[in-house]
Structure 1
């Protein structure tokens, strides 16, 4: 889900230094602070929109389930799913939005067949990944884990293998369960049925604490998020206290308060002058432009693919680099740590021309023994370059992945060629390896789950996409 493909980089103007303040040579004015606040807050606003769509707006088309209720996706993502850009279509998802204000939640997982990969990624409102459950992190045995909010303090209760603590009062758990092939979907559903969630008090058989107060959630859509990101940030900060590990942010919060941006208070505040409003908008615009420019050039380029192998998506991993966190969120909200998955992505061919199904057919060939090195599995997925969604096609194929290898045709030398084009190849052997493209611009994302060291070290590189015109 959610499109991650980042590596470390420096972004001019994005204030990537420590959280203690602005760059030394930058004026301490309203526009500059608004720029920094936008860079800092944009990931949180984007995550809030997703949370609003999936857990709050009960009448919305993308609503999944209320807080603290697990929602299992019965099928993989298709072009009909438009709430998320660059969705993953080879692991059915289960989504859980957590309200941790009253008490922790207990997440129990069943024993999962050792050959089936699964993961549960825990992410705070900061968009920090604060923990993992699953094949790589905790193994495939049955166990129960607690997820607690920032103010909860206690030892792990009996029966709880580990307590994960979120720095924010709301958080999300994103479950990925490997699907071997379309006929395997019922087995995936059985695994999903074994995922359970309940309050800690229910797990322990104790009386439940008083419920947390109701919240007047502000409506949000793409337009309102674009127009007033700092207003939403001010709202969200009340659920993200600058305590514990987040106390390092206190100087940053004080700087934001100097332009009236305070937790739980309306922003811009009443009485803000026209000149100050203009400066705020100037800062917001500058931040968005810088992030957009950074995304275009980020990542280590390998045969035309942008490859990231160094992202640890928690607070320590970002180390106050808010520009990097913003770019990760905009390029791929809810990105995995690279230890869990690496995502080469490209929108250019080997000749550095833009991929476009209306102008060319393409191939990508993996030499013998050079398929993506994964301890779990790999996939290659097609996305529309305009919508960033999956591409409708007559065979309902949105990706080619490792479990499909028995169905694919290998070349005489043992290599594997994928045919990337808008029209089906006439050769049946080639059609078996067809990844349908749109009649226009597109990009391709590779996913390598539980990557082997050759990927993380850069010893393995994805092969370039070769154009075949006419």
Structure 2
């Protein structure tokens, strides 16, 4: 498996520790040119773009090319917190004034699917599925640069993008028959209609997600900001990023800003990550305020790019991250926990399509290895329900006494973990934002 992680918090704590170990303890000799708040705001804003650039560089190093759809085996993707319920296909597309990217979508019935397009900041631009295109849910689509003059084949639905490059993820629910899902997955195809001008891959720092860049992040500012940010009100932040990038050309100021990032910015990130920025916390679970499309909320965008890149919009999926138990204690892979859904609040009742829960290491962002090779529980898990109709799931290093094995997701002693609960096609209070899962109880 190459699957990884969850929304980030502890990764930032690691970055703080790493930075503190090498930070210069000498106080600055003069007032800083930029306040701690200014440096933090600029860094957090820039980091969101660098995370997408990082993934793009890794993708092309792995052999991806423009306008070519790569079909991945289930589980064989390498970004934080993928959904293990679906077969993914991936691409980077490039369009211009003379060429669109043609996308063929097969007919899919009684199974969740979508083709998601994102920009270079991790913002969802469009989805192709039967919910968005009820009158044209499958067949031929052409993804074009807005305003492009391109002749398209008949019966082709055009989708205009405001940018020249985009990341693509198609998802097909595995469901009860994985073989059928993979057959459908391979029927999604892609090709350029002409010969688009292919851009170069932007260069920036390629870092481990648990060891974030410090002042060197601003060395890539010029390349990062070439990608347009479509959200309003970002001009001031971008100007601040450019100003700091210019300031660090002075050795003394470079050292000073590096120190500010290590001691102040990482602390601010860690604090914000605990609640996914302005997210809501209840019963030890966090629901992000937004996902997939962020508007002015660049903080949430960066945190999700860090710990759950390529998140879709809440119209497609609702996310809940569980990191603490009913007593407010951080989840410990060496302990066992239960999660009981009352009969009137079963997960299946809140999802139009499917639901799932995964467990990942809080520091490495990877699923937890175990003898069962079981990495999630979902509506296909042949779960055992209690006599009163409720459902209890278990998480721990060993099967708790009296628990049904199908209801157990193994964890690893010595590894902190967290849970990600997803509702695809959220219904009722999940869709409205009023619902939170029950608290996890330590056994």
Alignment-derived partner of residue 216 in structure 2? 228
Superposed CA deviations along residues 133-187 of structure 1, whole A, max 9, x for unmatched, are: 124333583133333347x5348844331313043x3320111110114xx2211
Q: Does 1:103 align with 2:89?
A: no
Give the deviation of 1:329 after TM superposition.
2.0
Q: Does 1:72 align with 2:60?
A: no
Alignment-derived partner of residue 344 in structure 1? 320
**8 Å contact from structure 1 (residues 34, 283) kept in 2:** yes
**8 Å contact from structure 2 (residues 218, 241) kept in 1:** no
Distance of 1:258 and 1:356 partners within structure 2: 43
- Judged with a 3 Å threshold, the aligned counterparts in structure 2 of structure 1 residues 306 and 67 are, in CA distance, closer, same or farther, namely same
Distance of 1:344 and 1:91 partners within structure 2: 18
Alignment-derived partner of residue 433 in structure 1? 407
Give the deviation of 1:120 after TM superposition.
1.7
1:462 corresponds, among 437, 440, 443, to 437
Give unmatched runs, 5+ long, in structure 2. Answer: 9-31
Give the deviation of 1:190 after TM superposition.
1.1
Q: Does 1:188 align with 2:181?
A: yes
Distance of 1:252 and 1:431 partners within structure 2: 51
- Judged with a 3 Å threshold, the aligned counterparts in structure 2 of structure 1 residues 420 and 337 are, in CA distance, closer, same or farther, namely same
Superposed CA deviations along residues 6-42 of structure 1, whole A, max 9, x for unmatched, are: 9xxxxxxxxxxxxxxxxxxxx9748665443322211
- Judged with a 3 Å threshold, the aligned counterparts in structure 2 of structure 1 residues 397 and 418 are, in CA distance, closer, same or farther, namely same
2:168 corresponds, among 164, 167, 173, to 173
Query: Normalised by the size of structure 2, how large is the TM-score?
Result: 0.82
Task: Please state whether the residue corresponding to 1:40 is helix, strand or coil.
Answer: helix
Q: Does 1:408 align with 2:383?
A: yes
Q: Does 1:313 align with 2:318?
A: no
**8 Å contact from structure 1 (residues 106, 199) kept in 2:** yes
Give the deviation of 1:85 after TM superposition.
2.5
- Judged with a 3 Å threshold, the aligned counterparts in structure 2 of structure 1 residues 386 and 282 are, in CA distance, closer, same or farther, namely closer
Superposed CA deviations along residues 263-318 of structure 1, whole A, max 9, x for unmatched, are: xxxx95xxx2223213432454433331221011342122211123x41533xx42
Alignment-derived partner of residue 296 in structure 1? 274
Task: Please state whether the residue corresponding to 1:344 is helix, strand or coil.
Answer: strand
Distance of 2:151 and 2:393 partners within structure 1: 49
Query: Normalised by the size of structure 1, how large is the TM-score?
Result: 0.77
Superposed CA deviations along residues 46-99 of structure 1, whole A, max 9, x for unmatched, are: 1111111112x1xxxxx252222111112235xxx6x42323211121111223
**8 Å contact from structure 2 (residues 5, 365) kept in 1:** no
Distance of 2:160 and 2:49 partners within structure 1: 20
Distance of 1:88 and 1:216 partners within structure 2: 27
Aligned length, in residue pairs: 407
Q: Give me the CA root mean square deviation.
A: 3.0
